[in-house]
Amino acid sequence: MGSYFLSHLHALEGGVVGQIVVFLGVLSVVVFVHELGHFLIARWCGVRILVFSLGFGPELAGFNDRRGTRWKIAAIPLGGYVKFFGDENVASASDGSALATMDEKEKSQSFIGQSLPKRAAIVVAGPMANFLLAIAIFAGTFMLYGKPTQSSQTMSARVDAVVPDSPAAVAGFQPGDLVVSIAGQAIGNFADMQRIVSESAGVTLAVTVERNGGSIVLQATPKAEKDMLGTPIGRLGIQGTIAPGSAQLEPVSPPQAVWLGLQETWAVIDTTMSYIGGVVTGHRSPDQLSGPIGIARVVGRASTISSAIVIHIMAVISVSIGLLNLFPIPLLDGGHLLFYSIEALRGRPLSERAQEVGFRIGLAIVLMLMIFATFNDIVHLATS
- The dihedrals phi and psi of 208, each to the nearest 5 degrees, come to -95, 125
Strands (E), the chain: 49-64, 70-84, 147-149, 161-162, 178-182, 185-186, 205-211, 214-220, 223-226, 232-235, 238-239, 248-250
Q: Catalytic: 35? A: yes
Distance CA 326, CA 336 (A): 9
Q: How far is CA 186 from CA 156, 180, 208, in A?
A: 12, 6, 9
- CA nearest 269: which of 222, 228, 325? 325
Which of 13, 35, 106, 352 is flagged as catalytic? 35
CB of 356 closer than 8 Å to CB of 88: no
Task: Classify residue 347 by burial, with Cβ atoms within 10 Å: 0-12, 13-18, 19+.
Answer: exposed
Distance CA 123, CA 126 (A): 6
Residue 96, helix vs strand vs coil: helix
Round to the nearest angstrom and report the end-to-end CA distance of the chain.
32
C-alpha 215 chain-centroid distance = 37
- Give one DSSP letter per residue of 23-55, joined into a string: HHHHHHHHHHHHHHHHHHHHHHTT--EEEEEEE
Q: How far is CA 301 from CA 5, 57, 269, in A?
A: 15, 28, 23
Distance CA 63, CA 73 (A): 10
- CA nearest 178: which of 163, 157, 164, 160? 157
The answer for residues whose C-beta is within 8 angstroms of residue 313's C-beta and 6 or more apart is: 26, 298, 299, 302
Catalytic site positions = 35
